[in-house]
Structure 1
Amino acid sequence: MSMLTTVYLIERYGLRLSMEQLAQVLGLAVATLHARIARGELGIPTYVDGKMRFADVRDVAEYLDIKRQEAQDALHAH
């Protein structure tokens, strides 16, 4: 996992992201994000604390780094 991605996200959002923040990072509507979570298609673990759902910043950073690597691999495969 890239420390740069993690540090950026921590500085901007803190140690955990609300669903609104996560939707912003992923470029999704909040409703789309909730639908992907409900279908088990998000690819980022989330958890409920109290009445709110969160994602750990380390999991979000890892997901973004994986997606970046997949894009680079696809580009070099052609």
Structure 2
Amino acid sequence: MSLLTHAYVLDKYGPRLSVAQLSTLLGIAEGTIRNQISTEAFPIKTYVEGGRRFASYQAVAEYLDAMDALARGQQLRAA
């Protein structure tokens, strides 16, 4: 868990991210995210509040850290 990633996501997007913000951060179309959420294939846990869907900044930061670790592991094996 990188505190830097947590701080970045919290500072840029606040304590919870909407689907639109997730789309911007991850570079995935909103429709794709909504489709993945409905099929339970989206890798970040989300929740509904007031009729809108959100993800906590902690869940997003943990996902980004996991993807970074995965990429670094693959780079080390490829070298």
The corresponding residue for 1:14 is 14
Normalised to the residue count of structure 2, the TM-score between the two structures is 0.95
- Structure 2: gaps (5+ residues): none
One-letter amino acid of the structure 1 residue matched with residue 11 of structure 2? E
- SS of the equivalent of 1:43 reads coil
- SS of the equivalent of 2:53 reads strand
CA RMSD after TM alignment: 0.7
- SS of the equivalent of 1:53 reads strand
Percent identity, aligned pairs only? 41
CA deviation vs aligned residue, 1:17-54 (integer Å, no higher than 9, x gap)? 01100111110110011011112111100000011000
The corresponding residue for 2:43 is 43
Distance in 2, Cα, partners of 1:39 & 1:74: 28
Normalised to the residue count of structure 1, the TM-score between the two structures is 0.96
Shift of 1:63: 0.1
CA deviation vs aligned residue, 1:51-75 (integer Å, no higher than 9, x gap)? 1000000000000000010001011
The corresponding residue for 1:30 is 30
Distance in 2, Cα, partners of 1:40 & 1:68: 22
